Amino acid sequence: MAQQFNTQAVHAGEERRKPYGAVTTPIVQTSTYTFTNTAEILDFMRGKEAEEPGLHYEYGRYSNPTQTAAEHKLAELEGAERALLFGSGMAAITTTLLARLSVGDHLIMVSDCYHRTREFAMMFLSRWGIDTSLVPIDQPQLLQDAIQPNTRLIFAETPTNPYLRVMDLERMVEIARQHKIATMVDSTFATPVNLKPLELGVDLVMHSASKYLGGHNDLLAGVVTGSHFALAQIEQARGVMGGISSPNDAYLLLRGLKTLELRVHQQNESARHIATALEAHPRIQRVYYPGLSSHPDHQVALRLMTGFGGVVSFEVDGDFDATARFIDRLRLPYIGPTLGGVESIVQQPAALYSLRRSERAAAGLKDNLVRYAVGVEDANDLLADLEQALADG
C-alpha cells in the first residue's frame, strides 16, 4: 500500500534498524573509509563498474552513509528514482548545468529565475561557449521561438522570487518534448508538498534544501532529483568538482524533512490568510501571491499546485525609505535574505540587491516591494504585527 507523504517524510530512505539501535540515522563523521584487505577493494571496484555498489564507501567526496539516507528520503518525497545532495542550492545548479551542457550548446532560461542562477548562465557559461536565452515565464510562444537546433536544456523556476510567478510546466514540457530538449525546474519555493514537477514530465527538479526542506535556518544544502539515467552524468561531475554536502548538514536535513509537510501546510495557510488581509489594507498597493485571484498566474497555480507556498510579496505606500521604516517597525520577523524556516523572515529586495536605483529598476525590483517569508508562528500574531507596522506609518 502506498504511504502518505507524512509517513514517507518520517521513515523513507532510512534503515529500519540503525546502528546501535538508534532511532535517528547517525552522523558518520569521516572523510575516508578503510578496507579489510585487497580482496575487499576488488569486490568494491567490481561493484562500481557494474553500477551495483554495495554498502561499502570509498571517500567522502563521493558519498557518505548519512548523505545517502538523506538522498533516498528526498527521492521518495519527490517521486524520483534518485536524488543527489550538494553543499548548496547553487552547487546543485552549477554542477548540473556544467554536466549537461558543452561548448556550442544553447540554454533557455526563464528570465524570472534567481539572479545568481541567471548570473552563472550569462557571465560564466558564456565564457565556455554556451549561449543562454532568457524568456518570459508566461509567454509559451516566445519559449517556442527561442529554441535553436543546439538547444539542450530549458531551465525554469516556479514559483519565482520575488513576484511568485508560476510557470505552466505542462506547456513547457510539451514544447520541450516536441524538440527532444531536456527540462529542469527549481522548485524551492513550492517544495514537494505543493508541487511535483516530475509527475508533469519534467526531467530534473532541484531545491535549495537550505530553505523549506531543512526548515530551521541552520544548514546549507542543495538537491537534484530525477531518473538514474538523468543523474549519472551529474553524479560523476559532483565527484570531480567536489560540491558535496557535509555529514552534519545531511543529518540536519534528515531531521528537518520529517516535519516538512506539517510546516508547509501551516505556512501555506498562514500566507494565504496574510495575503488576503493585506490585499484589503489601504496602505498596500499590491499583493503578489499565487493563491489570490488577482495574481496573473492564479489559474495555472490552481491547476498545478496543491498549495501556494509560504511567501507573500507586496508593495507598500511610499518610497524606498518609507518601505525600510515599515520593515524596521516589524517586531516578529527577522530581517534577512532567506526563507522557508520556522522563523518568519522579511526583506526589502531592493535594499539587498543594489545601492544603485538604476540597477534595481533594471532588475525589475521596485523600491517599495517587500518579501515576507512566513514561518510557523501564529498567523494572527504575524498579521497583528504587520498591521501595527503599517499603522505607525
For domain 5-28+64-257, give the fold.
Aspartate Aminotransferase; domain 2 (3.40.640)
Residue 63 DSSP SS3: coil
The mean predicted confidence, pLDDT, of the chain is: 95
* Cα(306)–Cα(268) distance, integer angstroms: 10
What is the grid cell recorded at 227? 531518473
Strand pairing of 369-373 and 311-316? Answer: antiparallel
d(CA 346, CA 333): 6
Would you list the domain boundaries of the chain? 5-28+64-257, 261-391
Catalytic residue, candidates 73, 100, 112, 114 = 114
Q: Write down the catalytic residue from 82, 100, 211, 366.
A: 211
> How would you class 37 by CB atoms within 10 Å of its CB: exposed for 0-12, middle for 13-18, buried for 19 or more?
exposed
Q: Cα separation of 168 and 368, whole Å? A: 28
Q: Which residues pair with 155 in a beta bridge?
A: 109, 184
Contact 382, 344 (CB under 8 A): yes
Given the residues 105, 168, 186, 203, the one annotated as active site: 186
Q: Name which CATH class applies to 261-391.
A: alpha beta
For 3, list phi and psi in degrees, rounded to 5. -85, 150
Whether 61 is a known active-site residue: answer: yes
Residue range 85-105, pLDDT digits in tens:
999 999 999 999 999 999 999
Could you report the per-residue pLDDT of 216-273, keeping only the tens digit for each?
Answer: 999 999 999 999 999 999 999 999 999 999 999 999 999 999 999 999 999 999 999 9
First to last CA, the chain: 56
Per-residue pLDDT of the chain (393 residues; tens, 9 = 90+): 678 998 999 998 888 888 888 899 999 999 999 999 999 999 999 988 877 766 789 999 999 999 999 999 999 999 999 999 999 999 999 999 999 999 999 999 999 999 999 999 999 999 999 999 999 999 999 999 999 999 999 999 999 999 999 999 999 999 999 999 999 999 999 999 999 999 999 999 999 999 999 999 999 999 999 999 999 999 999 999 999 999 999 999 999 999 999 999 999 999 999 999 999 999 999 999 999 999 999 999 999 999 999 999 999 999 999 999 999 999 999 999 999 999 999 999 998 887 888 888 887 889 999 999 999 999 999 999 999 999 976
Decide: 383 and 287 in contact? Cβ < 8 Å.
Answer: no
The contacts of residue 276 (CB under 8 Å, 6+ apart) are: 292
Has 211 been annotated as catalytic? yes
CB-CB neighbours of 38 under 10 Å: 8
Q: For residues 243 and 96, what is the distance between their CA atoms, to the nearest angstrom? A: 11
Q: What is the largest CA-CA distance in the chain?
A: 75
* Spatial distance between the Cα atoms of 361 and 371, rounded to a whole number of angstroms: 16
Catalytic residue among 33, 43, 48, 61: 61
Give the residue from 268, 218, 215 showing the smallest Cα distance to 246: 218
Per-residue pLDDT reduced to its tens digit, 139-166: 999 999 999 999 999 999 999 999 999 9
